[in-house]
Structure 1
Amino acid sequence: MQMSAVRTAIAEAASAVVLPVDAVLTCTGYTPDSVNEPHFFCGEYSVEFDRAMRRGLDTVELTCRVLVGLGDDKNAQQVLDALLAGSGPASLKQAIEAAKGAPGEDALGGAADDLHVMRVQGYRWYEHQGAQYIGAEIIIKIIGKGD
């Protein structure tokens, strides 16, 4: 797998969410210098190589973050809760897993074999480039051919 392509495809998939407020979720496949909130981005990842012989399969655990501004702490948390829901128009899980493709198709437009949004963690205040946000981490398991 080429992680740049994987991260870009995940950010594209995440951008399909429809927020419960008059705003658009901005998304990047990399950790940005600054964010235009609300913002989703792909952060650090770990790779377990050679899960099958001859570079047949790698497993990646990708940590993504979503950050929401603090104009109103209650409304910000309601938006974040909608983004972290398991389903619904604002669900990042639903939007990202839609990029799996149909049964038998590669995920993320061919960038991976499969993916699964495993969990949400770290629901808390985040500081990014000196600004405070409410946010959380989304952990995605991705499998694909070793390169």
Structure 2
Amino acid sequence: MQMSAVRTAVAEAASTVVLPVDAVLTCTGYTPDAVLEPHFFCGEYSVEFDRSMRRGMDTVELTCRVLVGLADDENAQRLLDALLSGAGSASLKGAIEAARGAPGQPALGGAADDLHVMRVQGYRWYEHQGAQYIGAELIIKIIGKGD
């Protein structure tokens, strides 16, 4: 797998959510210098190489973050809760897993074999470039050929 292509495809999939407020989720496949909130981005990842013989498959755990502004504490948390839900038009899990492709087809437009949004963690206040946000992390398991 080429991680730049994987990260870009995950961000593109996340950008398809429909927010319950008059806003658009901005998304990047990399950790940005500054965010235009609400914002989703792909951060650090770990790779377990050679899950099958001769570079047949690698497994990646990709940590993504979603940050929401704090103009109104309660409404910011309601928006974050909608983004972190398991289903619905604002669900990041639903939007990202929709990019798995049809059965037997590659995921993320061919960038990976399959993926699964495993969990949400770290629901808390985040500081990014000196600004405060409410946010959380999504952990995505991705499998693909060992390029």
TM-score of Structure 1 vs Structure 2, range by shorter chain = over 0.9
Q: State the shift of 1:21 in Å.
A: 0.4
**Deviations 1:41-61 (CA, angstroms, capped at 9, x unpaired):** 000000000000000000000
- Normalising to structure 1: TM-score of the pair? 1.00
Partner of 1:78: 78
Partner of 1:15: 15
Q: State the shift of 1:123 in Å.
A: 0.1
Q: State the shift of 1:94 in Å.
A: 0.1
Partner of 1:3: 3
Residue 109 (1) aligns with residue 105 (2): no
Cα separation, 2, equivalents of 1:63 and 1:10: 11
Q: State the shift of 1:88 in Å.
A: 0.1
- Normalising to structure 2: TM-score of the pair? 1.00
> Which runs of 5 or more residues in structure 1 are unaligned?
none
Partner of 1:130: 130
Q: State the shift of 1:27 in Å.
A: 0.1
Partner of 2:92: 92
Count of residue pairs the alignment pairs up:
147
Residue 26 (1) aligns with residue 26 (2): yes
Q: State the shift of 1:25 in Å.
A: 0.1
Q: State the shift of 1:10 in Å.
A: 0.2
**Deviations 1:24-77 (CA, angstroms, capped at 9, x unpaired):** 000000000000000000000000000000000000000000000000000000
**Deviations 1:60-118 (CA, angstroms, capped at 9, x unpaired):** 00000000000000000000000000000000000000000000000000000000000
The amino acid across from 1:14 in the alignment is: A
Cα separation, 1, equivalents of 2:134 and 2:73: 8
Counting aligned pairs with the same residue, the percent is 88
Q: State the shift of 1:6 in Å.
A: 0.1
Structure 1 stretches of at least 4 aligned residues deviating more than 4 Å after TM superposition: none
Q: State the shift of 1:16 in Å.
A: 0.3
Cα separation, 1, equivalents of 2:104 and 2:140: 20
